[in-house]
Structure 1
Amino acid sequence: MSKKSSILLIYTGGTIGMVKDFETGALKNFNFDQLLNQIPELKLLDCDISTISLEQPIDSSNMQPTNWVDICNIINENYADHNGFVVLHGSDTMSYTASALSFMLENLSKPVILTGSQLPIGDLRTDAKENLITAAQLASLRKNGRPYITEVCLYFEYKLYRGNRTTKASAEHFEAFASPNCIPLATSGVNLTIADQNLRPYRRKKLIVHEKMITDILVIHLFPGLNEELLTQMLTKTKFSGVILKTFGNGNASTQPWFLKLLKNCIDRDIPVVNVTQCLSGVVQMGNYETSTQLGQLGVISGKDITTEAAIAKMMYLLGQDLGKQVFKTIFETSIRGEMC
C-alpha cells in the first residue's frame, strides 16, 4: 500500500478562519491549530494534514508582496515534507495572490491550491467546509506515484481553476470566481472530474523561489473623457517602472496624438506598456482595428487574454528579473505559467 499523501494547510487570514460568537453575533478569529476540530470531516480524507499560519494573519485587502514572499518561503521550507499545499486566503485578493505565486514558484511539481469562503466556518450556511475539504482532497491526489496537479490553482464552489486565470466576479454569491478564458481544471460533483488535457505537465526540476517583485506599476483604466492633463501628470511627473493599460474591446484605445505621444515617451524610456482588455473575456488583438494598430507600432506589449491580476503579477515578476526591453516584451507575450493563450 502506498504511503498517504501529506498536505500542509497554510492560513493567511480571511473569512474562512473566523467563527461566529452566537451570543453577540460578531465574527472572531479562532485558533487555527484547532482547525480539525472545526471541520472533523477532514479526518476522513486519505491523507495526513498539518497546519501552519502566517505569524500575523491578515485580511486579504491588506495582502502585500511581502506576504507573498512569506507564503512562498513556507512552501519552500516544507516542500520536501509534503505532497501538496492548501493556502487559506481571503477572497478579495485571492486571484492576485494565486497569480503572483504562480510566477514566484518556478518549476513547481506539487499542487498549491488557494481557497477560502464567503461565509465563516461557524456560520450555519457556510461554504468554507466544502471548499476546504475538496481543496485538500485535490491537493492529495496522486497519479503514477506523483502529484496529479502540479501548479498553483484556486478552488471555489465546486470548481478548480488555474490560479493565474481567475478573477473575482461576485462579492455576494458562493460562486465568487470566474475563469473566462480557461476552462476549469477540475469539477467537483458526485465524482471529481479532472481535465487531464489542461493540466500543466510534471517538471522534474528543483523548485526556484523568486522573491524580487517590483511593485511601482501604474494601472490605467481607459474611459471616454480621460483627461489629458491628468494623464500627462501621471506619466511624466510620477516615478514608475511599468504600465498596464486597460483598453477597450480587443485592445483598442484613443488615437489622439497627445495620448500616443505619452505612451511613446514611456516606451522610449524603456518603460514597458502592456495592453490588456477591460472585457471579462476575450483577447487583445492589436491591428484588428485602426484604433489599436498604432499601439502595436509604438511597441506596446500585447497581454493577449491575460487577466489584469495576472498581468500585474507577471509584470512585477519580470521587472524583478532585470531583462532587456525586447526580452521583456518577448517573455511577456509568451505563456510561461499557463497564464495566457
Structure 2
Amino acid sequence: MKRKVLLIYTGGTIGMEKDYKTGSLQAFNFENIFQKIPEMNLLECKVSVHPFKVPLDSSDMGPEEWKIIANYIGKNYEKYDGFLILHGTDTMSYTASALSFMLKGLRKPVILTGSQLPIGDLRTDAKENLLTSLYYASLYENDEAMVQEVALYFEYKLLRGNRSLKYSAEFFDAYQSPNYSVLGKSGVHLNIERAELFRADKEESFCADLHISQDVLFWRIFPGMQLSLFKELPKMKVLILQAFGSGTIFNTEKTRNTLTKLRESGTEIVVVSQCVSGGISIGKYNNSNVFAEVGAISGKDMTAESAITKAMHLLDNPNYEGTFAENFEKNLRGEISEHF
C-alpha cells in the first residue's frame, strides 16, 4: 500500500523557473510539478499537492501563514501519512520551529524543504531536496512513522526543525543544527538516527494549537549599546535578549536598573546566546548574575528562531497550565538539550 503524502507549496525559490528571454525568475503553476519532476511518479508514495493561492517569498511568511499551515495539517491529519512543506529558505527555520510547538502530539512526519536554485536550473538542488524529503515523509516501519516530528531536510541532511538555522545564503549546504545531532543522512542508503528522533508522550493526543502572540521583541545587544533605547519602546510582554557568550551583559548599574524596571512593568526577559554553538549558563560569570537578580529566563541552548517562536506560542496561551517561565524552561519538542 502506497503511503499518502500531502505536499503544501507556500512559495520560495524551489517553485520558480527562469525565463530565459528576460533572465528573471518567475513562479510556475505548482500543480504541474509532476511534469517538472517526472521522477515523482516513480516514488512509492501517493502525493497530493496543495499550493498557496499566491506563492510567498519566505520573508513574507509569518504567524498568519504558520496558522494556515498548522490548521491545514490538523484538518487533514487523518487523511495522510506524512506532510511535506515547500518553503523559501530565508525563514524556513522560523516556520519549522513554530510548527513544532503548534503541532502537539505529532505521530507523523512533517518535513520542510526548499532550494537555493530554481527547480528549472541545470544545477538545481531542488530535485534532490524534494524527492528525498518525500521519502522521509513516507518512511514507515511496522506501520509506524519513523519520523514523528517537524524536521527540515536540506542537502542530504535531515535536521530537527526547532534546532535548525540557515547559515549560508550561497552554499547548497545551507543549514546547520549546531546543538543537536542530525536525524538522518541521505546517501546510497536513506539513513535514520533512531536514537536522536523525538517522540511525544504516549498520553498526548494530536492537536493543532494555533495560538500565536506577537507581543514578543528580539534584541541583540552589542558593545556600546544605549540601554535607554528600551525606554522608547512600547510596552512588550516578552523581550528576548541575545547576550554575549554564555549569557553576559554590561556590568553597570544602568543595566541593572533598566532590566529591573522592565521586569517590574511585567515584561518577561528571556536570554539566548549570540554564539551559534553552546548555550546560556547564568551565574557562570559575574556579568551574568544580573539576569538571575531580575528573574530572567534562560534560553539554554535554543536557537534564536526556536526561542522566538516558542515565546510567541506560549505567551498568554490558555492551553498551558503554569506560568510562562515554567513552560518556557521545559523541553517541549526536543528544542533543549538534556544537560541544560
Alignment equivalent of 1:270, drawn from 258, 266, 269: 266
Deviation at 1:324, TM superposition (A): 9.7
Deviation at 1:66, TM superposition (A): 0.5
Distance 1:325 1:203, change over 3 A: closer
Matched, 1:211 2:210: yes
Residue aligning to 2:294: 298
Query: Is the contact made by 1:270 and 1:325 (CA closer than 8 Å) also made in structure 2?
Result: no
Q: How does 1:172-251 map to 2 (within 5 A)?
A: 172-201=170-199, 205-234=204-233, 238-251=234-247
Query: Is the contact made by 1:54 and 1:70 (CA closer than 8 Å) also made in structure 2?
Result: no
How many equivalent pairs are there?
336
Distance 1:256 1:325, change over 3 A: farther
Distance 1:252 1:56, change over 3 A: same
Deviations 1:127-183 (A, max 9, x none): 000000000000100011111100000000000000000111000000111111011
Deviation at 1:322, TM superposition (A): 4.8
Query: Is the contact made by 1:7 and 1:140 (CA closer than 8 Å) also made in structure 2?
Result: yes
Deviation at 1:21, TM superposition (A): 1.6
Deviation at 1:270, TM superposition (A): 2.8
Q: Distance in 2 between matches of 1:223 and 1:63?
A: 28
Q: How does 1:65-76 map to 2 (within 5 A)?
A: 65-76=63-74
Query: Is the contact made by 2:27 and 2:55 (CA closer than 8 Å) also made in structure 1?
Result: no
Q: Distance in 2 between matches of 1:43 and 1:22?
A: 27
Deviation at 1:233, TM superposition (A): 2.0
What secondary structure sits across from 1:113 in the alignment?
A: strand
Q: Distance in 1 between matches of 2:88 and 2:21?
A: 25
What secondary structure sits across from 1:81 in the alignment?
A: coil
Residue aligning to 1:335: 331
* AA at the equivalent of 1:171: A
Alignment equivalent of 1:48, drawn from 28, 46, 53: 46
Unaligned runs of 5+ in 2: none
Deviation at 1:108, TM superposition (A): 0.9
* AA at the equivalent of 2:333: R
Deviations 1:101-141 (A, max 9, x none): 00011111111000000000000000000000000000100
Q: Distance in 1 between matches of 2:227 and 2:2?
A: 61
Between 126-135 and 69-78, the greater mean CA deviation after superposition: 69-78
Residue aligning to 2:100: 102
Residue aligning to 1:258: 254
Between 80-89 and 291-300, the greater mean CA deviation after superposition: 291-300
Unaligned runs of 5+ in 1: none
Residue aligning to 1:31: 29
Alignment equivalent of 2:159, drawn from 151, 158, 161: 161
Q: How does 1:84-95 map to 2 (within 5 A)?
A: 84-95=82-93
Distance 1:201 1:212, change over 3 A: closer
Residue aligning to 2:57: 59
- Sequence identity, in percent? 47
Deviation at 1:305, TM superposition (A): 0.2
Deviations 1:30-63 (A, max 9, x none): 1111111111111121111110012222101011
What secondary structure sits across from 2:282 in the alignment?
A: coil
* AA at the equivalent of 2:329: E
* AA at the equivalent of 1:272: E
Matched, 1:282 2:281: no
Residue aligning to 1:150: 148
Q: Distance in 2 between matches of 1:11 and 1:329?
A: 35
Q: Distance in 2 between matches of 1:228 and 1:92?
A: 29
Deviations 1:173-198 (A, max 9, x none): 00111111011100011111111001
* AA at the equivalent of 2:63: P
Residue aligning to 1:9: 7
Q: Distance in 2 between matches of 1:59 and 1:211?
A: 22
Distance 1:294 1:18, change over 3 A: same
Deviation at 1:207, TM superposition (A): 1.9
Q: Distance in 1 between matches of 2:108 and 2:319?
A: 28
Query: Is the contact made by 1:275 and 1:303 (CA closer than 8 Å) also made in structure 2?
Result: yes
What secondary structure sits across from 2:78 in the alignment?
A: helix
Q: Distance in 1 between matches of 2:268 and 2:161?
A: 24
Between 171-180 and 252-261, the greater mean CA deviation after superposition: 252-261
Between 165-174 and 200-209, the greater mean CA deviation after superposition: 200-209
